[in-house]
């Protein structure tokens, strides 16, 4: 055997090179990445015993994250969101957009703008649910009437 299979001993490149030199693998059977690796070797060899670089992890913090955190803290039961449907923003996204709009237009502080935006969005959601319940009750009565006429 040309080399050990343990990744601690050598890189995959050195193992493939050893197989080609020993005749266990022909040049025609080499992997696609082999020539690319030869042409553009990595700056630092990918070895098992190489220490990981010590770089501090940067905090990625956006201004709307504060609004999002306040929204989810105040609204406990959030309806489900279809993530693949980008045409319809979520309730939280609507609140963020309305809050930033109120902040810019009325020069309000974050807390005041958030309270106004949250009240607006919750009232819109209540009116939608009330109108949906009314439409369902009329549809239900139509179905009952349709069943009664077909039975008689």
Contacts of 116 (CB under 8 A, 6+ apart): 99, 102, 108
pLDDT of residue 152: 35
pLDDT of residue 63: 86
With vertex at residue 84, the alpha carbon angle to CA 81 and CA 116, rounded to the nearest 5 degrees, is 40
76: left (phi over 0), alpha (psi -120 to 50) or beta: alpha
Same structural domain, 47 and 83: no
- Most trustworthy range by pLDDT among 17-21, 45-49, 73-77, 136-140: 17-21
Task: Tell which wins on pLDDT, 47 or 35.
Answer: 35
Contacts of 106 (CB under 8 A, 6+ apart): 113
Contacts of 117 (CB under 8 A, 6+ apart): 95, 98, 99, 102
Q: For residue 43, tell me if it sits in a domain.
A: yes
With vertex at residue 123, the alpha carbon angle to CA 112 and CA 137, rounded to the nearest 5 degrees, is 170
pTM of the model: 0.53
Q: For residue 88, tell me if it sits in a domain.
A: yes
Same structural domain, 85 and 26: no
Same structural domain, 99 and 135: yes
DSSP label at residue 28? G
Same structural domain, 125 and 80: yes
The parent domain of residue 71 ranges over 64-151
Same structural domain, 90 and 124: yes
What total of structural domains would you count in the chain?
2
* pLDDT tens sequence across 48-82: 778 888 899 888 989 899 999 999 999 888 888 88
Same structural domain, 40 and 75: no
Same structural domain, 17 and 80: no
Which pLDDT band, with edges at 50, 70 and 90, does 18 fall under? very high
Same structural domain, 42 and 6: yes
pLDDT of residue 34: 95
Same structural domain, 48 and 89: no
Q: For residue 119, tell me if it sits in a domain.
A: yes
Same structural domain, 70 and 139: yes
Position 138 pLDDT exceeds 80: no
């Amino acid at each position: 055997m040309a080399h050990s299979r343990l990744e601690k001993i050598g890189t995959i490149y050195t193992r493939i090179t050893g197989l080609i030199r020993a005749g266990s693998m022909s040049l025609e059977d080499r992997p696609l990445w082999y020539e690319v690796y030869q042409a553009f070797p990595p700056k630092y060899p990918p070895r098992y015993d190489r220490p990981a670089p010590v770089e501090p992890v940067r905090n990625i913090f956006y201004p709307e994250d504060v609004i999002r955190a306040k929204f989810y803290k105040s609204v406990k039961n959030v309806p489900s969101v279809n993530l693949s449907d980008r045409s319809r923003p979520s309730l939280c996204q609507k609140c963020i957009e309305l809050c930033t709009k109120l902040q810019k237009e009325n020069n309000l502080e974050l807390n005041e703008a958030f309270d106004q935006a949250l009240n607006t969005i919750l009232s819109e959601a209540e009116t939608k649910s009330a109108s949906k319940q009314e439409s369902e009750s009329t549809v239900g009565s139509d179905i009952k009437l349709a069943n009664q006429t077909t039975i008689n």
